Amino acid sequence: MYIDVSDKISNGDIHQYVSNMFVAKIQQEIVISPAVVGNKQAYYLTAPSDPGFAPRYVILGSNYSYDLGFYQNGVDGFMEKIKSDIFPTIIFN
């Protein structure tokens, strides 16, 4: 699992964040779904047609944006364990 902190907050606009963070080819593949992580509004980003894109959650903060992801996917329920047991316990101030 990784947590990437960025100062590219894009004024709270997830589409602007995606365009700032990813090259144009990948931007076209990304599917954005609303989510909640640690009681904060978040976005779940996937790219079903791009196997090289690691699914991630993005929280757009007032000073920083947080990109939470994982590189291993689907082995022994790993992804579901992260979503159900780890992400809900994260606290952001």
Q: What is the pLDDT of residue 34?
A: 94
Reported pTM: 0.76
Q: What is the pLDDT of residue 62?
A: 79
Nearest to 31 by CA among 19, 44, 14: 44
Across 44-58, b (16+ Cβ under 10 Å) vs e yields: bbebeeeeebbbbbb
- What confidence tens digit (pLDDT) does each residue in 48-57 have? 888 778 889 9
Q: Greater confidence, 39 or 1?
A: 39
Give the range among 42-46, 53-57, 67-71 with minimum mean pLDDT.
67-71
Residue 40 structural domain: 2-89
State the average pLDDT for the chain.
81
* Counted domains in the chain: 1
Q: What is the pLDDT of residue 58?
A: 93
Read out DSSP for 11-43? Answer: GG-HHHHHHHHS-HHHHHH-EEEEEEETTEEEE
Q: What is the pLDDT of residue 75?
A: 62
- The number of beta carbons lying within 10 Å of the beta carbon of residue 91 is 7
